[in-house]
A and B are shown apart, each in its own frame.
Chain A
Amino acid sequence: MRSVRVVWSGFVMNLKMLGTSSFFLLTSVVQPVIFATVAFYMFRSGGRSGTLLYAALGAGMMGVWSTTLFGSGGMIQWQRWQGTLELGVGAPPPMALVYLPFSLANAFTGMYALAATLVWGRVVFGVPLHFAHPLLFVLALVATVVSLGLMGLVLASTFILYRYANAMSNLLEYPVWVASGLVFSTSLLPGWTRPISWCLPPYWGVLAIRHAALGGETWRPLGMVAVLGLAAAAISIVTFRVFEHQARARATLSLT
């Protein structure tokens, strides 16, 4: 019960903090809309007009990933700058539990991105929003967002030891968009990248969302989203414990 309260209060508090951040407004609404517009025009100029919903979903997922990534990267770094990282580490609950709601809130904010690109596509480009399986679509979206939040937690734990977390965030944005095939098929990529794609929750998440929206087998990718999310949760519990201990032992926790 206490854990649920920690998660809920952390989630609500971080949502409020994100709601006042213009940077998150940019990554979760403005940037996805711009990328969606670029993708729409590229698909249109290539005569792939039937894939506009495909582009809207992909661009929205790009926003979910960006928000998770920058949120997770920034989570530790901002706490360092604000001098609150030690307080979080010193609190009685495990560090992973303290930061889990922050990561979930980051990913949840990313859902704005999907909403923004779908509304933008509908209003500006006339994209028909007819979902093949509306209930499965909602389920796939929620599962993907939670799974991405848990993946963000793993990233955040590594940033405890790495001082330039924002540099890694800048670097990792495009590669995951590419490897997850968010707006194009991964079959265009070299064969050796396939296992990398399979390990990424956004890859299965966008498949589940796309199949729920456009038609196709949804349960298998949804299952993979759940499995990878649980794996990320397990990994983050270990990495938080190990990296937190190392940072405390080396006295580098609050070094910026």
Chain B
Amino acid sequence: MRRWWSVFLVGGVIAYRGLFNWIRPAMYVPTMLGSPIFQLIFFTKLGQYAHAQPREFYVVGNSVQVCSMASVYGMTMAVANERWFGTLGPLLATPANRAAVFLGRGVPVLANGLFVSAFTFGAGALLLGFRPALASLPALALIVLVTVASCTCFGMLLGSIGLRAKDFFFVANLAYFLMLLFCGVNIPLDVLPGWMSFVGRCLPLTHGIAAARGVAAGRSLSAVSGLVWTELGIGAAYACAAYLLFRVLERESRRSAVLDSY
């Protein structure tokens, strides 16, 4: 059990340091901190121009959504880069528990997602005058934690696809942009056509953002608990699907001898 935790935690951190391309400050600051601030400003101003929703709608939506930059890209890199860097073979040759190897990579991604989201909320408060009630902050933090976890599980699924897909960054980029459209980040779900809001409800972020908006508007955590549990359930479903896919693709890649090939 101790070894399991060691692979889970230490292995996860080492893998993250080695495989997350944007970890250097020269990359991290412009990409993970600069870009979310301007995304926030862009959509808030667009919403203001379109007379669509109040400012808080965009601040909460985008501040929660930017965690997916850490989760989707971070998790994709943490899994799929093993193949890109040619270390997938040695990794899979070890007897280490696969669940510990796979899930451990999510911990630093989760921490990073939380930081990016918190930073963007801070920028929203500083630049756009977002002022939620102080009492709502713990509940907001909990909701963001759940949402980032759910997004990280989704990122795991994309990372698993990267074990076989030729261009895994295309998949990650596409997923990131589609989440902007489908998850109610900048458009209320009831404005979208039925099929789009249905897809949005099957994705991470959607329920978390709705819950965060509720809490920021003064509702209690218990009033939005249904949304939070749904977000958690969606995350758990993606984690199971990701782990299953990882094992299937690992077995198939070994069987067809295409582990490191493109």
- Chain A contact residues, CB within 8 Å of chain B: 22-23, 26, 30-31, 34-35, 37-39, 41-48, 51, 163-164, 166-168, 170-171, 173-175, 177-178, 183-185, 188-189
Contact = CB atoms under 8 A, between A and B. Distances in A.
Contacts of A30: 174, 177
Contact of B50 (A22, A35, A43, A178): A43
Which of A37, A42, A164 has its CB near the most chain B CB atoms (within 10 A)? A42
Given A42-B50, A189-B45, A171 B35 contact: yes
Contacts of A173: 35, 38
B51 interface: yes
Contacts of A26: 170, 173-174
Given A31-B177, A39-B46, A171 B31 contact: yes
A117 to B, nearest CB: 14
Interface of B: 22, 24, 26-27, 29-31, 34-35, 38-39, 41-42, 45-53, 167, 169-170, 173-174, 177-178, 180-181, 186-188, 191-192
B27 A167 contact: yes
Contacts of B34: 170-171
Contact of A178 (B22, B29, B42, B180): B42
A183 B52 CA distance: 14
B38 A167 contact: no
Given A26-B170, A30-B177, A42 B186 contact: yes
Contacts of B180: 34, 38
A209 to B, nearest CB: 18
Contacts of A31: 173, 177
A243 B41 CA distance: 33
Contact of B186 (A38, A48, A174): A38
Contact of A48 (B22, B51, B187): B51
A49 to B, nearest CB: 10
Contacts of B181: 34, 37-38
Contacts of B38: 171, 173-175, 178
Q: Which 6 residue pairs are nearest across A and B when measured between Cβ atoms? A: A174-B38, A184-B49, A171-B30, A46-B52, A46-B50, A46-B51
Which of A39, A47, A164, A167 has its CB near the most chain B CB atoms (within 10 A)? A167
Instruction: Provide the main secondary structure of the chain B interface.
Output: helix
Contacts of B22: 167
Contacts of B50: 39, 42-43, 45-46, 48, 51, 184
A45 B27 contact: no
A189 B42 CA distance: 10
A47 B50 CA distance: 7
B174 to A, nearest CB: 7
A16 to B, nearest CB: 18
A26 B241 CA distance: 26
B52 A45 contact: yes
A45 B31 contact: no
Nearest to A31: B177
Contacts of A38: 180-181, 186-187
A24 B237 CA distance: 32
A170 B176 CA distance: 14
A42 B188 CA distance: 9
A42 B46 contact: yes
Contacts of A177: 42
A177 B30 CA distance: 16
A168 B53 CA distance: 31
A243 B49 CA distance: 41
A6 B159 CA distance: 42
B191 A44 contact: yes
A174 B187 contact: no
Nearest to A164: B26
A163 B46 CA distance: 33
Contacts of A37: 181
B51 A22 contact: no
A42 B27 contact: no
7 contacts: A26-B170, A34-B177, A37-B181, A39-B46, A46-B53, A171-B30, A174-B42
A255 to B, nearest CB: 13
B173 to A, nearest CB: 5
Contact of B41 (A42, A43, A174): A174
Contacts of B45: 178, 184, 188-189
B57 to A, nearest CB: 11
A163 B47 CA distance: 36
Nearest to B47: A42
